Chains A and B, each alone.
Chain A
Amino acid sequence: MLNRIYGWFDRRFDLEDSSKFLGKAFPAEDSFLLGEVALFTFFLLVMTGIFLGFFFEPSTTEVTYDGSVAQYQDQELPAAFASVLYITYDIPFGMFLRRLHHWAAHFFVASIGLHMLRVFFSGAYRNPREPNWVVGGLLALLAIFAAYTGYSLPFDEFASTATGIGYSIANSIPIVGDIISKIVFGGEYPSSATLPRFYFLHVFAIPVAIMALIGVHMAILIRQKHTEGPRSSDVAGEQTVEKDDDTYVIGLPAFPNQAAVSVVVFFLTLAFVSLLAGFLPVHNVAAYGPNDPASTPELIMPDWFLMWVFGFLKVMPSWMSFTVPFTDIHVSTEFLSGVVLPGIVFGLVFLWPFIDYRKDPTHFTVNPLRRPWQTAVGVAAVTFIMIASIAGMNNILADVIAVSTGTINNILLVATLVYPLVAGAITYYILRGNGREESQERGEPAADGGSRSMKPTSENGPTDGPSDDPTADSSPSGGEADD
């Protein structure tokens, strides 16, 4: 019976010929699984989002609440808020699936971030993978935007106030800010048009764009094939593949071996998100109450992945705002810290493969300890974002160490500017001798100022990748100066 079904499809879709695709090689590297975590959390987001979409009402129209939460019974509440209460407290799976959706969203953003850090520090973005790095960066941006639009949907006091920060930033853009904020937020925030607009973006426009980009990301990955960690020795087989020959990729066949690994990743991801969803609340709307334009919550903060932007807003000195001479165009600190600085950060992320450019394609990943200046830039960038995130929580920090936020802001501003430079410089200093071969392949002076003469080939070959051995060169494919 199965053979007949298979034959029916085979005659129509030429499955036998296409089945060769199932043998494609996937290198068995642990850190390569982070992208799959992101993929599966997106799948979980879509599945739980469909469930939530059955019950959620994207409207600020007042309705009389008749659900089970005692403190809101018989009150007039925005329909969006009331419907989230209904999902959370009156539908058997509701609270669990809503929490799954939230935790999956956080996992999605975090796993994309960690995946990008892995790609960055292992040099997997280099020629010919620059386009996929850019696609990945766009996915990260869309993930953040998806989370931002979803954050505001319950229309509770906490989230709607935090979402208002985004409105202020959009509104601060010189000349076009007013139009942009009206297009995205449906008028002065929060208006009755805001929720339907955000809902459309959150459940359709952004997910479709994410799905399309995931498709492009996977297509490029399949076409270019995966990067591979350095090999410890030649690989025997029908033909022997030399350990430094990256024109071949060694790995598990897509089916059944890699597919089984992916199934394990899928179930473990679901297990972790389920554990969080079962035991830890996310965004307890009943405790926050509905949006109230007349009040301000005690604590205002965006989601953690936007905390660094919030930090810029908090520590940027007001004297940096100015009016463009001979015009009435005002450049506010909100615009500088909320648009310009994040724009520079993301701009550098997108440009990075073209800054650290290699003319020759390379397919092996690299030990970060072998790349002094690239790793130094990465350490500086990571610490910069972290300190800016601390700045976003300046009021909590001020409470913790019992000083005024004004004092804290000055310290944080200096730390944001100085510490990343210091951390980057120290990283470069301790690694400076390790990147000799890498520099020589790029035709650059050796990082330690040493000789530019090439070492014998045997010393340039890769060694075991996972080790911290800085003598482990993992860029064997080069050989010529590329630019």
Chain B
Amino acid sequence: MRRETLVIGVLIALVLLPMWYVGIQGEATSEEIQIDQSVSEIQPLSGPVDLPNKLSPSQVGVIVWIALFGLYGVLAGAHRFMNTAVRPSDPDAEAVVSDGGYSGQDDAERELEPPDERTDGGVNRPSWLTAENRWLVEYHDATGSNEGIIVMGALTVLAIVFSALFTGEYLTLARTQYFGLYATGLFLSLAALTVAYYAWFMPHVEVAEKREH
């Protein structure tokens, strides 16, 4: 980390951390709400974890920012994985590009190895990727390995299990913590499923596009 970044980080942390410390104090928890089970059979307050039953706005503020930074971290990790997973590990490896040739080779090599005779360079790709003002700059085909099929199969099963548990909770005690647990599991499974599909079964494509059109 550069000195400038560190100094600026300290200047902000000197205010941010006290603000969060004061904000997280909030207010004391209150008595648990008693639900008359003769009126309603559901138990929204039941759950496996004992957590505060009341949060002040300042506590909510601290939590939401920490959660947002956490989400951003996970997003960045997933995004980078998606954009690197299907690329060859060797940066000089071949990447089919739209001129029918290959990047990662010098001109002499290209001349010795003429491009595919097909006008699209030998790449099967959707028609909309290129246009008058847009062309491919990188195209790595999907690997489509058995490993990907296994991962996607497992994640699909996981998503189905979580959605079944969620539905089951709705039909029985409707406990909020379990709703949260199952919904989180379901959405994480679906996110991971998309990441896996992207990594193993989608070609990695980059395009260049003229701005002024």
Contact = CB atoms under 8 A, between A and B. Distances in A.
Interface residues of A, number: 111
Interface stretch (A47-55, A89-97, A174-182): A89-97
Given A237-B137, A272-B67, A278 B177 contact: yes
A209 to B, nearest CB: 23
B51 A431 contact: no
A453 interface: no
A281 B72 CA distance: 22
Contacts of B147: none
Contact of A103 (B4, B64, B174): B64
A70 B58 contact: no
A276 B53 contact: no
B178 to A, nearest CB: 7
Contacts of A286: 33
Which of B12, B79, B198 gathers the greatest number of chain A CB atoms within 10 Å? B79
A213 interface: no
Interface stretch (A185-193, A323-331, A346-354, A379-387): A379-387
B8 A375 contact: yes
Interface stretch (A137-145, A196-204, A249-257, A436-444): A249-257
Nearest to B136: A237
Contacts of B36: 68-70, 73
Interface string B89-127: 000000001110001000000000000000000000011
B202 interface: yes
Interface stretch (A5-13, A263-271, A336-344, A455-463): A263-271
Interface in A362-417: 363, 369, 375, 379, 382-383, 386-387, 389-390, 393, 396-397, 399-400
A299 interface: yes
A94 B67 CA distance: 23
B65 A110 contact: yes
A95 B55 contact: no
B202 A257 contact: yes
Nearest to A114: B68
Contact of A423 (B11, B52, B131, B212): B11
A261 B204 CA distance: 12
Contacts of A249: 208-209, 211
Nearest to A151: B57
B75 A265 contact: yes
A67 interface: yes
A312 to B, nearest CB: 15
B128 A396 contact: no
Main secondary structure of the interface of A (DSSP, over half): helix
Contacts of B21: 400
Interface in A140-166: 162
A265 B9 CA distance: 27
A21 interface: yes
A271 B2 contact: no
B19 interface: yes
A287 B15 CA distance: 32
A23 B187 CA distance: 27
A389 B19 CA distance: 7
A303 interface: yes
25 contacts: A68-B39, A73-B39, A89-B42, A90-B39, A95-B44, A95-B45, A237-B98, A247-B211, A255-B128, A257-B204, A260-B197, A277-B179, A280-B63, A282-B60, A287-B33, A303-B60, A304-B60, A307-B58, A375-B8, A382-B12, A383-B15, A386-B19, A390-B19, A393-B22, A468-B2
Interface of B: 1-5, 7-8, 11-12, 15-16, 18-19, 21-23, 25-27, 30-31, 33-37, 39-40, 42, 44-45, 47, 49, 51-58, 60-65, 67-68, 70-72, 74-76, 78-80, 82-83, 97-99, 103, 126-131, 134-138, 170, 174, 176-181, 183-184, 187-188, 190-191, 194-195, 197-198, 202, 204-212
Interface of A: 19-25, 28, 30-31, 33-34, 37, 66-71, 73, 88-90, 92-96, 99, 103, 106-107, 110-111, 114, 162, 224-225, 235-239, 241, 246-253, 255-257, 260-261, 263-265, 267-272, 274-282, 284, 286-287, 298-299, 301-305, 307, 363, 369, 375, 379, 382-383, 386-387, 389-390, 393, 396-397, 399-400, 419, 423, 426-427, 430-431, 434, 468-470
Given A23-B126, A390-B19, 20 more contacts: A23-B128, A68-B35, A68-B37, A70-B33, A70-B36, A93-B174, A95-B44, A95-B176, A237-B98, A238-B136, A250-B137, A260-B198, A268-B74, A274-B179, A278-B176, A279-B47, A284-B55, A375-B8, A382-B12, A390-B15
